[in-house]
Amino acid sequence: MRHDTPDATDLLPPTEMSFLVKFLELMNRTKVDEEEYWNSSKFKAFTFDDEDDELSQLKESKRAVNSLRDFVDDDDDDDLERVSWTGEPVGSISWSIKETAGNSGLNHEGREQLKSRNSFSSYAQLPKPTSTYSLSNFFRGRTRLGSFQSLSDALSDTPAKSYAPELGRPKGEFRDYSNDWSPSDTVRRLRKGKVCSLERFRSLQDKLQLLEEAVSMHDGNVITAVLIFLKRTLSKEVLFRELEVRQVALRHLIHFLKEIGDQKLLLDLFRFLDRTEELALSHYREHLSIQDPEKRKEFLKTCIGLPFSVEDSAHIQDHYTLLERQIIIEANDRHLEAAGQTEIFRKHPRKASILNMPLVTTLFYSCFYHYTEPEGTFSSPVNLKKTFKIPDKQYVLTALAARAKLRAWHDVDALFTTKNWLGYTKKRAPIGFHRVVEILHKNSAPVQILQEYVNLVEDMDTKLNLATKFKCHDVVIDTCRDLKDRQQLLAYRSKVDKGSAEEEKIDAILSSTVSRAATPPQPGETDSSQSSIKCIKGYHRVTTQFLSATVTLDLVLDMASSAVNGVTTEPKWLSPRLLEKGANVAGPPGGALTPDCTEHSKL
């Protein structure tokens, strides 16, 4: 299928693989006629120079035209080129589609496996035999089926297009010299990445028309190219003034300035537009690229007075103060560490510098290394807390984590102990003791310590849960006793070591309460201790679904893997309880499912 207008694809460039193949072939050809072709083709597709004199521009264009013609030639004989190398039609990459596009590869071979609803061909159950329009054809070469399968074929009966005169009509190229490309022609050429100089547009009016053409094409690439040209040839004031009334172009310019990092012009622009907050943020953003801490600090200082929102101003101020503080701490601690006289640094050498760390990390650091320092020092936790108005909760959490990591249980204790005026002490935790327990456990606190805090948890269910989770046997046993939950206690008996003190304790409780246990436990009772899930609307549904799903899935996965791995042993998964629960998925009892998948090899 030959076509007269190789440029018909310009609007819709070929997406197929053939382009890539062609590109590679083009390069292969290099070696054949390198001399006569390539040495002359280092042309510049788009010149940003205006220093080039007229003559060199001419030469440039001529070379460009020559090389363009080679592209055209290549286009023209591509039917010859298509079948090459392996003898297979080159454009065809159906092989790769087989893997990607589901079963579309089966379209031609056989449909017996084509059950999947995802196949595009099933959408094409239309009166016409359109099933070959699988999406994968998008990428398939044209030679495969004869009908149009590739884009260029689909457009092959397109008459010549006048808007793309450069290809197939080399003469048109020479109009390049005569300066009569209109702004819209120029923009179209740019859009195709063709040779094009913008220098001929000298009047402001021309330039703006060029910009408007570019904007109406919506192609950001071209808009940017024109903006680069305008930025270079117009004064800042004029450029800003004209862009203010052209919002799309303006946004592109802002994006472009951000991309190339022309911070100065960007700030000027924001100032001109009176976009103060953007101005401030944009200025602040610059600090990210400053590595040196001193310089970064100085830079942050310049951000402080900028017109941020009230909230943000406070944060920016804090950012500066924090870095300033970190620089002092860092210098001091590095010195201490190097001197080797301080125990904490010897025992726990610092892993990284504290510079540029978040506030909470800094607080953790200072709770770790400088916990006992008086409030007056910069590195003391209390000082940080005050300076940055760190809420109590946050402070306690961080201090707890740091002290627990050092296994300084005494400090932990002190953190939660409050004395009233009569001298009685009381334990209080603004973060809830369940959280305290979790953190302590994470830092592998000994059971005695854990137990103490588990006992402070107020909610019975949570307490029991945590105690069970962290093996605080005494707490579990005592709680069960208090709840008079005999069944739970019986169940727990199996979890403690045989002959241990805990077992004895359980037995003692069980025997002493025998008489009272005449009333059987309420049905709901056991459930309540299983989890602390609240039965809010929405909560509960999800819970039950997930729990039941877990059971079935366990069963199923077990089953599936035994099937898969060819396990021939007893079907251990058929416990009667699970069978009951997972009745819908379990197979017939008695081990009907004993797939011996390993044996087939003997066949």
Partner 1 sequence: MAAHLSYGRVNLNVLREAAIVWDEYLTGPFGLIAQYSLLKEHEVEKMFTLKGSRLPAADVKNIIFFVRPRLELMDIIAENVLSEDRRGPARDFHILFVPRRSLLCEQRLKDLGVLGSFIHREEYSLDLIPFDGDLLSMESEGAFKECYLESDQTSLYHAAKGLMTLQALYGTIPQIFGKGECARQVANMMIRMKREFTGSQNSVFPVFDNLLLLDRNVDLLTPLATQLTYEGLIDEIYGIQNSYVKLPPEKFAPKKQGDGGKDLPTEAKKLQLNSAEELYAEIRDKNFNAVGSVLSKKAKVISAAFEERHNAKTVGEIKQFVSQLPHMQAARGSLANHTSIAELIKDVTTSEDFFDKLTVEQEFMSGIDTDKVNGYIEDCIAQKHSLIKVLRLVCLQSVCNSGLKQKVLDYYKREILQTYGYEHILTLHNLEKAGLLKPQMGGRNNYPTIRKTLRLWMDDVNEQNPTDISYVYSGYAPLSVRLAQLLSRPGWRSIEEVLRILPGPHFEERQPLPTGLQKKRQPGENRVTLIFFLGGVTFAEVAALRFLSQLEDGGTEYVIATTKLMNGATWIESLMEKPV
In the range 410-449, which residues lie near partner 1 by CB under 8 A? 431, 435
Kindly state the smallest distance separating residue 520's Cβ from partner 1, in Å: 31
Window 149-188: residues binding partner 1 (CB under 8 A):
151, 154-155, 157-161, 163
Of residues 23 and 177, the one with the C-beta less far from partner 1: 23
The pair of structure tokens assigned to 227 is 């903006």
Q: Work out how close the CB of 241 gets to partner 1 at its nearest, in angstroms, rounded to a whole number.
A: 20
In whole angstroms, give the CA distance from residue 596 to residue 63. Answer: 73
Total number of residues binding partner 1 (CB under 8 A)? 150
Q: Within the chain, how many helices (H) and strands (E) appear?
A: 29, 2
Q: For residue 376, which phi and psi values (nearest 5 degrees)?
A: -70, -25
For 429, the token pair is 């935790």
Secondary structure (DSSP) of 590-602: TT-----TTGGGG
Q: Which residue among 187, 195, 214, 222 contacts partner 1 (CB under 8 A)?
A: 222
Could you say which residues in the range 309-348 bind partner 1, by CB under 8 A? 311-312, 315-316, 318-319, 322
Instruction: List beta partners, residue 425.
Output: 419
The piece of 96-104, 328-336, 414-422, 521-529 that touches partner 1 (CB under 8 A) is: 96-104
443-482 binders of partner 1 (CB under 8 A)? none
Nearer to partner 1, 278 or 411 (CB): 278
Beta bridge partners of 417: 427
Could you tell me the smallest distance in angstroms from the CB atom of residue 231 to partner 1?
Answer: 11
Cβ–Cβ < 8 Å for 89, 143: yes
Q: How far is CA 116 from CA 111, 112, 122, 130, in A?
A: 10, 11, 9, 18
CA distance 415 to 314: 29
Strands (E), 431-482: none
Is 24 among the residues that bind partner 1 (CB under 8 A)? yes
- Residue 209, classed as helix, strand or coil, is helix
∠ CA 84-90-91, nearest 5°, is 150
Contact with partner 1 (CB under 8 A): which of 56, 513, 526, 561?
561
Q: Which of 270, 284, 365, 470 binds partner 1 (CB under 8 A)?
A: 284
399 sits near partner 1 (criterion: CB under 8 A)? no
The yes or no reply on residue 351 touching partner 1 (CB under 8 A) is: no
Within residues 572-591, the interface with partner 1 by CB under 8 A covers: 584-587
* Nearest to partner 1 of 312, 474 (CB atom): 312
Site for partner 1 in 227-266 (CB under 8 A): 228, 248, 251-252, 254-256, 259-260
If 0-12 CB within 10 Å is exposed, 13-18 middle and 19+ buried, where does residue 522 land? exposed
Should residue 89 be labelled a site residue for partner 1 when binding is judged by CB under 8 A? no
Shortest Å, Cβ 470 to partner 1: 14
The SS3 assignment for 493 reads: helix
- Contact pattern for partner 1 over residues 107 through 126, marking x by CB under 8 A: ------x-xxxxxxx-xxxx
By CB neighbour count within 10 A (0-12 exposed, 13-18 middle, 19+ buried), where does 162 fall?
exposed
Residue 31 or residue 410: which is nearer to partner 1 going by CB? Answer: 31
195 is a contact residue toward partner 1 (CB under 8 A): no
Task: Determine which residue in the list 4, 557, 572, 589 makes contact with partner 1, applying CB under 8 A.
Answer: 557
Among 68, 133, 257, 370, binds partner 1 (CB under 8 A): 133
Shortest Cβ distance from residue 342 to partner 1 (Å)? 27
Stretch of residues binding partner 1 (CB under 8 A), selected from 99-107, 366-374, 485-493, 512-520: 99-107
> For residues 122 and 130, is the Cβ–Cβ distance under 8 A?
no
DSSP code, position 159: P
Task: Provide the 10 A C-beta neighbour count for residue 118.
Answer: 11
Under rule CB under 8 A, residue 21 binds partner 1: yes
Name the one range near partner 1 by CB under 8 A: 51-59, 286-294, 487-495, 517-525.
Answer: 286-294
Closer Cβ to partner 1, 127 or 520, answer by number: 127
Question: Is 58 an interacting residue with respect to partner 1 (CB under 8 A)?
Answer: no
- Shortest distance in whole angstroms from residue 560 CB to partner 1: 4
Span 532-551, contacts to partner 1 by CB under 8 A: 536-539, 541-543, 545-546, 549-550
Nearer to partner 1, 24 or 204 (CB): 24
Q: How far is CA 126 from CA 101, 107, 121, 130, 134, in A?
A: 21, 16, 10, 7, 13
Rounded to a whole number of angstroms, the minimum distance from the CB of residue 509 to partner 1 is 30
To which residue do tokens 């040209």 refer? 229
- Output 286 or 474, the one with its CB closest to partner 1: 286
Distances (CA, A) of 159 to 9, 164, 171: 12, 12, 19
443: its two tokens: 């830092």
Question: Using an 8 Å Cβ cutoff, are 220 and 248 in contact?
Answer: no
Chain positions 369 to 398 lying near partner 1, rule: CB under 8 A, are 388, 390, 393-394, 397
Candidate residues 61, 137, 143, 529; the one interacting with partner 1 per rule CB under 8 A:
137
- Does residue 555 touch partner 1 according to CB under 8 A? yes
Whole-number Cα distances in Å, 421 to 145, 413, 418, 429:
94, 19, 10, 19
| Least distance (Å) between residue 472 CB and partner 1 | 18
CB atoms under 10 Å from CB of 236, counted, come to 12
Q: How many residues does the chain have?
A: 603
Provide, rounded to whole angstroms, the least separation between the CB of residue 55 and partner 1: 19
Residue 571 has a CB neighbour count (10 Å cut-off) of 19
Closer by beta carbon to partner 1, 85 or else 174: 85
Determine contact, residues 250/221, Cβ cutoff 8 Å.
no
| Residue 46 contacts partner 1 per CB under 8 A | yes
